[in-house]
Structure 1
Amino acid sequence: MGTGTGRMASVLRGACMVGTMVLLAACTRHGHEGYARYRTNCGICHHGGEGMKGEIPPVSGRVDKIASTPEGKQYLMHVLLNGLNGPLQIDGVRYNFSMPPFRAHLSDEEIASILTYLATRGDTRPAPVFRAADVAAERAHPMTTTMVAEERRRLDAIHPLP
């Protein structure tokens, strides 16, 4: 290998390392923000994501699966924006709860970061990503908690939700 080729390889390795560090920093920052927002807004009820059997539905390992379709992503944004009332049946367990809307408390970016964080907690790779612009589009169409529950029932009939 010539001197020029060795230098070129060294420069490319350095550029790759810098690029990788920038990407990891961005992912960590976004993941950290999503986790922090989840913890302060959702973790009070959903705890670490496992919920409380029969009381509060789990979210870990479910959001990524629900978000695997455009309709599922839309539904999840509706849940955070508008809230949701039970009863729900999840993995054979009945939940009868009331989740408040976060429309007035969280920005589009905050909701997107929470949902993206939760999507990374499942097995789907690459994990679905939520964008603030998509949340803003859904925010423009308010729904009642009853409407969101009905949306879930319709989606569940088409392709069962976890």
Structure 2
Amino acid sequence: MTAFDMELASPVPSGLSGGLGGPNQGGHQPPDWYIQFGMDLGAGEGVEVHAAFDAHVTKYSPHDPSADSGKVYGAQLFMRAPNDMMGGFYTHITNVPSEIAVGSQISRGDLLGTIMSFDGIPSHVHAALVEIIGGAPNGQYQGVDLYQTILNLADSTVTVTFAQDGSPPTVN
């Protein structure tokens, strides 16, 4: 399989107050990659959440306030890179633009919504990244830990190399 590079930006380019927990910490436990490799990025209610990479939306669950609970609340967006070899998940957001739907093309930096608060839980966006070894839909989904990289990005971007061999990605 061929390695590839992806330009990655912070989902919270302004207003990030810090990390509230990363992969394999606290409630971020297996078996689901989007929970286990979750990054809780703290920011105030109403702070904008942006796409961290170019992608297309593969699953979208709009915010349904009647379904909110202590663990699952806000809209949920799953998306994959144009080459279908990496993806991401975002939740705890609201005010998702009306043009976002399954199949939508998203560019790095596009607005995905705003951070919401719920029931005294510190406001944050939960984001997770996955490498899809062999490509979707039948590839092996392997969550990746880029928590410290994302926390250090602010409003810049980095190039991340995904080797497609099971090794952790390299930040260039």
TM-score of the superposed pair, with normalisation by structure 1: 0.28
Judging by fraction of residues, say which structure has more strand.
Answer: 2
TM-score of the superposed pair, with normalisation by structure 2: 0.27
Greater RCO structure (CA 8 Å; 6+ sep) = 2
Judging by fraction of residues, say which structure has more helix.
Answer: 1
